[in-house]
Amino acid sequence: MMNSSLNKANLTALPPLALYIHFPWCEKKCPYCDFNSHQIKEGAGVKSGFDEEQYINALIADLETELPRIWGRQVHSIFIGGGTPSLLSAQGMDRLISAIRARINLEPDAEITMEANPGSVETEKFAGFAKAGINRVSLGIQSFQDEQLKALGRIHNGSEAKRAIEIALKHFKSVNLDLMYGLPMQTLDDAKRDVETALSFKTPHLSFYNLTLEPNTYFASFPPKLPKEEVIDAIFEQNLELLSNAGYQRYEVSAYAKPGMECKHNLNYWRFGDYIGIGAGAHGKISFPDKITRQVRERHPETYMQNMETKGNALIEAREVPASDLPFEFMLNALRLTNGVATNTFTERTGLPLNVISKGLDEASKKGLLDPNPISLKATPLGLTYLNNVQEIFLN
């Protein structure tokens, strides 16, 4: 049990602040996806299948409700995720980014990322997004092979994926490619072809995710035939070698980047930074000198917009994080980084003394899961392989 004197966080400085914006619509819901995304309904009464103006109005109003909680703080990055944010018009994106700049203190060279589906990439539209201020795009490629894309329920094919990358590289400072492995019936050679194709474009950032069957998804109810565990492990090791040889550093469990091209927004999450979360289903974390708070918005886009219009907010949860939960929340994020974090970051970001996790650090170190060097909190290669086991040590 945590000492009664440690029931409150005591932060000497507030962490960096980011902004997350959720766009909840997709052209088609993928069978493996457990994110808060909703398939656009045909004949929805508006040309795009969703009311862009109404949703942007709601986002702006949502941001305004957060301003008193972050007054005077600078925002270092913006991430527009989904769903498929690239379904927005270039004009709509410009209006949204302009409204944000008018309301918050945004760092002049802030990283502004937008997720995009290769099936919704258009040259003129991407040029408009870049003009609006988007400087980093994350493309949901998943695979370059048509049969794999079909098995994953994607709306694009391999040729469209390649074309989307070429367009993105012409317009944005940084481009990330999201790829998956452990796909239905995937072989070691299949996986190698995907990696080699991705590397041929020389994008500065790549993400590789192992396909998992998440609860409440189509695949959970109707599971596809996935490769055996030893094949998936071999694919991962192959990926690691190919990427390392091409000059990419694995800096997070699923993320690889050329030197200096890591995703600043995601690094802020993993270092237990703060973030405003606006949009349907968005989560936020804001720190104060004596507490750390979390918020969750209404998930369904229609209800979210109605609540913003009628109530002035769409919160379904707003709470102070108990001090007893902070060690696990911090370690859950920080240990995803291959280089970990400086040990003093724990106290800086949680407001708690390091001795509250000393027992867990000792246990994890003795099991060979945590680097024993006292200057950093860092998982060993074995610990990264069995990350859930390391994180569970700090659950209590």
Residue type present at position 202 = K
Calpha distance 76→19 (Å, rounded) = 8
Calpha distance 35→33 (Å, rounded) = 6
According to the model, what pLDDT value does residue 308 have? 98
According to the model, what pLDDT value does residue 33 have? 82
Overall average pLDDT of the 95-111 stretch: 97
- pLDDT over 80 at 40, yes or no: yes
According to the model, what pLDDT value does residue 164 have? 95
Query: Which candidate, 315, 274, 309, 318, places its Cα nearest to that of 56?
Result: 309
By CB atoms closer than 10 A (0-12, 13-18, 19+), residue 69 is middle
- pLDDT over 90 at 396, yes or no: no
Judge contact between 171 and 139, C-beta under 8 A.
no
Question: What percentage of the chain carries pLDDT values higher than 70?
Answer: 96
Q: How confident is the model at residue 7 (pLDDT cuts 50, 70, 90)?
A: low
Query: Which candidate, 65, 59, 68, 70, places its Cα nearest to that of 97?
Result: 59
User: Which tens digit of pLDDT belongs to each residue from 346-371?
Assistant: 999 999 999 999 999 999 999 999 99
Judge contact between 284 and 295, C-beta under 8 A.
yes
- Domains contained in the chain, CATH given: 17-268 (3.20.20.70), 323-396 (1.10.10)
